[in-house]
A and B are shown apart, each in its own frame.
Chain A
Amino acid sequence: MSARIPSTGRRPPSVLGKRSRDLLVFLRDHTIVALVLLLCIFVFGIELIRPGTVTPTWLSNSLQFAAPLGILAAGQTLVMLTGGIDLSVASVATGAAYLLTTNVSLGGFAAVLIALAFGVIVGALNGIGVALLQVQPLVMTLGTGLMSGGVMIVYSQKMLASQARVPGFIQALGSGKLWGVAPLDLFLWVPLAALLIFGLSRTGFGRLLYAIGDNRLACHLTGIRVWRILLVNYILCSVVAAVGGLVLVGSTNAADLGLADVYLLPSVAAVIIGGTSIFGGRGGYGGSIVGAVILTVLTSLLTLLDVPEPIKQILYGAIILVLAAAYARLTG
């Protein structure tokens, strides 16, 4: 990505009173608060439109639906922190799900391994291109996304008469609830999130990701093996995407070639709204989590509005733009 034109100062306009300016500065420095506030506004909006919708069941359903997106956004966050992007996450997720359901005959555990291995392979390919050969992440992941999508299509032709099933434990993971209340996929998502947040802020690897995103050349000059870190990072992203695909297929109980396609734009949007800059070096997974939940709630909100499907699509896109623009303005 080319350099930005230097922008003028970061202070909020003086036309606002001191209290508002302080509030804006507070929100900017603690963007998570702003995001959670926004989430509450949306939930409140849902309650207004159809009173009685926001119940504990609805909340647990929403979190359950948000998990696959949240997991995909996790991988996307890792990659965006280094100034890249991964447009192949949807294909990887779909591919992993498809591989899982068609290899169940080898045993559930082996099928999961095969699905994750797919993520490793695609991630490695991405990593080699971006890290070693310095290809632009956008194009590289675009190509690998098309490749993996195409491979899956061809593979699907060969697999038809055999039995494609979702193993019981995956189904439970994706659509089950503990005691009918706590979604089981949260038991995967929450530890993953904790691991990621801890890893990004406390480990050397995490700090290096920020460093590379901030100034790759400086990292290189200080002797850091940038290529190794990026390679591992892209592999991590794709493996996480594969996990997301498994959770997704658990919730739909059927693998489809377009399974995760609708999650590509939201995975990028969730990360951007959550505060990670696409140029790298800034942000974190916490924001992406809230971003993912916001987008899921937004989808429910639009469903409740009972407007024709195209209008929903337009509104969804427009709101994402507004949120991203507001975020860009807020942080300068």
Chain B
Amino acid sequence: MVRNDPSEKGATGFLPSGGARVASMRWAGRYLPVIGMPLLLAVALLFTTWIHPSFGAFDIQSLALGALPLAFAAAAQTCVVISGGIDLSVGSLIAVANVLAASTMQHADFRQALLLAAGILIAGAISGAINGAIVVLSRIPDVVVTLTTGFIWGGVALLIMEKPGGGAPQQFLDLAAGTTLAPWLPNAVILLIAAVAVVWIPLKLGRAGLLVYAVGSDRVAAFRSGVGVETTRILAYTLSGLFSAMGGLALTMTTAIGAPLAGVYYTLSGLAALVIGGVSLTGGRGGISGPVLAAFVLTLIPTDLIFLNIDPNYGQVIQGTLIVLVVMLGGFVTVLRNRK
């Protein structure tokens, strides 16, 4: 998304002065937000190849399989955050979709599995809508609501499957496996792009997307302009539920089992991907490509640590430190700008 909003450009201290500054700021403002995240991913991949020269097709596939559910979690979180809210139940919904899929698909054939998948997507959207309805109707802050519903959905996941197990037909699993178009383009990535685009592009181009951004950027102003704030917020949560369901299905495809506790990681990491991907938590700004790409970067971290023979538990420290550094840098720049 390109805007001539001066706040989108970098801190003035880093750029040349005068007319050249204005021109380069406009260029930076227009293109860097778009290429910033892909650039970061490219740097990360280059670095990985440098420390591990035999990084090949198998490894790209591993990366894609590992990042797929996280990318959907990041997408889910983005929808809600852009509308000005937050969803701390993303991980639990992923777990519910995962165990639902693995338990119902265990003895199904490919066609039945696809139908079940469609059903689970609808169920995910409905769960998201329920989240949204509770947030809007109960007047409890969304942090508290989604923290609690996350807990509830976690219980639901355990109810469906008390311990890891289940399965899915091989053809369903093969949807995300392997590479058909090119050795460096895993099917998982194609699946991801297709799934996200199918939902996001119509939204972005249509009126609904505009409403979501409006509600996120200034809720009171949107209300006063006649926007149905409550319906829009419920829509955002519905989309989050839909993407979470996709994440759960992706998890089933990539691991071939259902695990009720698998979701715990995705809530916080999805939020991390969101922050690193450049979406502002105040709402109304950002796109979906940043967080999705950030999901790949985050997945690359434990892999790189293993290649470097560093304890992969440092991965959590690094993830937390990254969030802290990124938001602190962002805050620092804002403060600097406000000061002048």
A and B, direct touch (CB closer than 8 Å): yes
Interface residues of A (CB under 8 A from B): 1-3, 5-7, 85, 125, 128-129, 132-136, 138-140, 142-151, 153-154, 157, 265, 268-269, 272, 278-279, 308-314, 316-318, 320-321, 324-325, 328-329
Chain B nearest Cβ from A39, distance in angstroms: 20
Contact B154 A313 (CB under 8 A): yes
Contact A143 B139 (CB under 8 A): no
Contact A138 B86 (CB under 8 A): yes
B281 — which chain A residues lie within 8 A by C-beta?
136, 138-139
Interface residues of B (CB under 8 A from A): 84, 86, 134, 138-141, 143-145, 147-149, 151-152, 154-159, 162, 218-220, 223, 229, 268, 271-272, 275, 281-283, 311, 313-324, 327-328, 330-332, 334-335
Contacts A2-B219, A154-B313, A320-B148 hold; do A144 and B327 have CB atoms under 8 A apart?
Answer: no
Chain B nearest Cβ from A149, distance in angstroms: 6
Chain A, Cβ-Cβ closest to B310: A154
A310 — which chain B residues lie within 8 A by C-beta?
155-159, 162
A312 — which chain B residues lie within 8 A by C-beta?
155
A145 — which chain B residues lie within 8 A by C-beta?
320
Contacts A150-B315, A154-B313, A329-B139 hold; do A317 and B219 have CB atoms under 8 A apart?
Answer: no
Is chain A's interface secondary structure helix, strand, loop, or mixed overall? helix
Contacts A142-B271, A324-B144 hold; do A135 and B313 have CB atoms under 8 A apart?
Answer: no
Contact B332 A321 (CB under 8 A): no
Chain B nearest Cβ from A18, distance in angstroms: 26
Chain B, Cβ-Cβ closest to A3: B220
Contact A324 B159 (CB under 8 A): no
Contact A143 B158 (CB under 8 A): no
Contact A133 B283 (CB under 8 A): no
Pick the residue among A1, A85, A128, A321 that contacts B149 (CB under 8 A).
Answer: A321
Compute how far the CA of A318 lies from the CA of B84 in the bound complex, rounded to whole angstroms.
Answer: 24
Contact B158 A309 (CB under 8 A): yes
Chain B nearest Cβ from A101, distance in angstroms: 19
Chain B nearest Cβ from A267, distance in angstroms: 11
Pick the residue among A149, A309, A316 that contacts B151 (CB under 8 A).
Answer: A316
Contact A125 B324 (CB under 8 A): yes
Pick the residue among A85, A143, A150, A265 that contacts B327 (CB under 8 A).
Answer: A143
Contact A134 B331 (CB under 8 A): yes
Compute how far the CA of A7 lies from the CA of B137 in the bound complex, rounded to whole angstroms.
Answer: 12
Is chain B's interface secondary structure helix, strand, loop, or mixed overall? helix
Contact A5 B332 (CB under 8 A): no
Contact B147 A268 (CB under 8 A): yes
Contact A139 B152 (CB under 8 A): no
B141 — which chain A residues lie within 8 A by C-beta?
1, 278-279
Contact B147 A328 (CB under 8 A): no
Contact B321 A135 (CB under 8 A): no
B316 — which chain A residues lie within 8 A by C-beta?
146-147, 149-150, 153
Contact B162 A5 (CB under 8 A): no
Compute how far the CA of A320 lies from the CA of B134 in the bound complex, rounded to whole angstroms.
Answer: 13
Chain B nearest Cβ from A230, distance in angstroms: 13
B144 — which chain A residues lie within 8 A by C-beta?
268-269, 272, 278, 324
B143 — which chain A residues lie within 8 A by C-beta?
85, 138, 268, 278
A320 — which chain B residues lie within 8 A by C-beta?
148
Compute how far the CA of A153 lies from the CA of B312 in the bound complex, rounded to whole angstroms.
Answer: 10
Contact B158 A313 (CB under 8 A): yes
Give 5 A-B pairs besides A328-B138, A329-B139 with Cβ atoms closer than 8 angstroms.
Answer: A85-B143, A133-B334, A140-B328, A265-B151, A272-B144
17 contacts between A and B (CB under 8 A): A132-B331, A133-B327, A135-B327, A139-B271, A139-B327, A140-B324, A143-B320, A146-B268, A146-B272, A146-B316, A146-B317, A147-B316, A265-B147, A279-B141, A310-B157, A313-B158, A317-B152
B268 — which chain A residues lie within 8 A by C-beta?
142, 146
Pick the residue among B220, B313, B328 that contacts A133 (CB under 8 A).
Answer: B328
Chain A nearest Cβ from B321, distance in angstroms: 5
Contact B220 A5 (CB under 8 A): yes
Compute how far the CA of A133 lies from the CA of B143 in the bound complex, rounded to whole angstroms.
Answer: 22
Compute how far the CA of A149 lies from the CA of B147 in the bound complex, rounded to whole angstroms.
Answer: 19
Contact A325 B139 (CB under 8 A): yes
Contact B314 A150 (CB under 8 A): yes
Compute how far the CA of A279 lies from the CA of B321 in the bound complex, rounded to whole angstroms.
Answer: 27
Contacts A133-B331, A134-B335, A140-B327 hold; do A317 and B320 have CB atoms under 8 A apart?
Answer: no
A316 — which chain B residues lie within 8 A by C-beta?
151, 155
Compute how far the CA of A274 lies from the CA of B293 in the bound complex, rounded to whole angstroms.
Answer: 41
Compute how far the CA of A1 lies from the CA of B144 in the bound complex, rounded to whole angstroms.
Answer: 13
B282 — which chain A residues lie within 8 A by C-beta?
2, 136
Contact A154 B154 (CB under 8 A): no
